[in-house]
Amino acid sequence: MVKEVKKRVVTIKFSSSTEALDFLVFALSSLKNVTGEQVGSKVKLVLISSSDEPDDDYHKIISIVRQWGASRQYPRAGLYRHSLGLLLSTANLVVGIPVEAVAELLALKGFKAQLEGGNIVTNADFKLVVKVAEVFAEKYARALQLESTPQVKRLVALYAATYECTIDQAVDELKRRGLVKEEENTRRLVLTASYSECLEAVKRR
């Protein structure tokens, strides 16, 4: 028996052709059974499926469009809601990162930022959040080479990204301030207090 094929078309208009292209690349990498094309500042997504298949992919398209809009339209409350999935698929990360660190780095740079569910809620726009994630990933990749606890690696990378210094300089400064020390037997770097206390101290540089 030949199944009937159904096709749904979703057309989205963006503020520029550059944004339209960025969205098309993201959508095609995130969705299955979808083709698409860009014409100027518009993107047309075409979903092809058999008539007896559920509409999961169609609902995913709608969800992605909403996530994209929420990350780019400045809300009345002054805070964006950036989807973590959208962020991680857009950013060019040299290594996997703890997503909480992106919010922490934004806060260290003076922005409002916190994780809520699968979003970063912040007053920083999407392009800036992507850049912050990429900068942190570069520092974190180097910090991973340290003989230290995971929390030290994260704190060192945050310090280096915040104050634009090398990993070695960040380690030296954190030692000088008494936030990091070497264990006597292993020489491994450890925190001298809880991670939250050390992070708060970094803010008070």
Q: Splitting the chain (205 residues) into consecutive groups of 10 residues, what average pLDDT does each group show?
A: 68 88 82 85 83 65 79 74 86 95 97 92 91 97 97 98 97 97 93 97 88
Q: 1-70, what's its fold?
A: TATA-Binding Protein (3.30.310)
- What does the block give as tokens for 154? 């994260």
Report how far residue 141's alpha carbon sits from residue 137's, in angstroms, rounded to the nearest whole number. Answer: 6
- What does the block give as tokens for 49? 């499926």
- What pLDDT was estimated at residue 164? 95
- What pLDDT was estimated at residue 156? 98
Q: Give the other-Cβ count within 10 Å of 19's Cβ.
A: 14
Sorted by where each begins, the domain ranges of the chain are 1-70
- What pLDDT was estimated at residue 128? 93
Helices marked H in the chain — which ranges?
17-30, 56-70, 84-90, 100-108, 126-143, 150-163, 167-176, 195-203
- What pLDDT was estimated at residue 145? 97
- What pLDDT was estimated at residue 74? 64
Q: Are 198 and 155 in contact (CB under 8 A)?
A: yes
Q: Are 57 and 47 in contact (CB under 8 A)?
A: yes
Where residue 13 falls (left for φ over 0; alpha for ψ -120 to 50; beta otherwise) is: beta
| Distance (Å) of CA 7 to CA 10, 12, 46, 53, 89 | 10, 17, 7, 12, 26
**What pTM does this model have?**
0.77
